[in-house]
Amino acid sequence: MPEKIDIYSGATLDSKIDLSIQRGSKNSEVKMEKYTVEYDKTEVVLDLVHRVQAEFAPDLAVRWNCKAGKCGSCSAEVNGSPKLMCMTKMSDYTNAKSMEIRPMRTFPLIKDLVTDVSWNFEKNKQIKPFKPPTGVKELTMYQQHVDRIQEYRKCIECFLCQDTCHVLRTHEEFNQYAGPRFMIRLATLEFHPEDQEDRIGEIKNTFGVNMCNITKCCQEVCPEEIHITDNGIIPLKERVADNFYDPLMMAVSWIKRLL
Ligand code: SF4
Ligand code: SF4
Ligand code: FES
């Protein structure tokens, strides 16, 4: 039998799998639809979703952009695990006869695999930006500061950590906790050696750092391998504890506010 080749990618379609994909929108019934698709073991899950669109369901809604793990658009839950579909290799599912693909559960459904993540962008707007020192012409950054902030800045805003965090996902504390992504953004600013802004009260009260109970589930799913809890949230918690509960630091911080 001649080999079947995908006309767009050139992939050799020599394997078959039953994909169950969540279909439906906020205004319609939501159910799992099964599609049997051929694939090549070198492909990624997003390739198969595109094949479903091309061959069976042109109206299937899926968000993606770069197909290179850099835009953070194609976040979904593959067999219950939060993943970037474009970075999830079919070679990791050898011998699987079926696979389930659902949208991120933590955010409101728009349609099929697309969710409304706008809450994150609204939360981001509440964070005070970098404030440079006044009267200084050149800022000095040492390598250890660059290394620290470089890790935080690898974030691609895929929101898989937000999807995973049980404070948001299970307890729906959207008013109490900004979530791991924004703890990382706050750490980027707070641990910048030249930043002069005072956000410590907001980190505790508005963004709710104390809601995190350090389960570390968020850092396990981060595609950029950012040590969200170890290198971001725990140091922020320590800074909050120093400022609010250490008498000496409380006095220093009170004097600083007066100056
Ligand atoms: S470590 Fe904190 S932010 Fe991360 S998943 Fe657990 S509770 Fe959420
Ligand atoms: S911290 Fe990691 S998991 Fe969270 S949004 Fe950024 S890249 Fe995604
Ligand atoms: S399409 Fe950009 S990260 Fe997957």
Q: What does the domain layout of the chain look like in residue ranges? A: 15-115, 118-258
**CATH superfamily ID and name for 15-115:** Beta-grasp domain (3.10.20.30)
> Exposure string (b/e) for 231-241, b if CB count within 10 Å is 16 or more?
bbbbebbebbe
User: Has residue 253 got a pLDDT over 70?
Assistant: no
Token pair of 164 as six digits? 């995973």
Cα-to-centroid distance, 53 and ligand 2 (Å):
27
Percent of the chain clearing pLDDT 70 (strictly above): 94
- Per-residue pLDDT reduced to its tens digit, 152-164: 999 999 999 999 9
Q: How far apart are CA 228 and CA 93, in angstroms?
A: 27
pLDDT at 126: 98
The residue among 204, 205, 214 whose CA lies nearest residue 242 is 204
Which top CATH class is 118-258? mainly alpha
Q: How far apart are CA 186 and CA 216, in angstroms?
A: 18
**Local structure of residue 218 (DSSP, 8 states):** H
pLDDT at 183: 98
Tell me which of 215, 228, 231, 236 to substitute to probe ligand 1's pocket, judged by most ligand atoms within 8 Å of the beta carbon: 215
pLDDT at 136: 77
User: Has residue 1 got a pLDDT over 80?
Assistant: no
pLDDT interval class at 26 (50, 70, 90): confident
- Per-residue pLDDT reduced to its tens digit, 116-142: 999 999 999 999 999 999 887 787 889
Which ligand sits closest to the CA of 158? 2
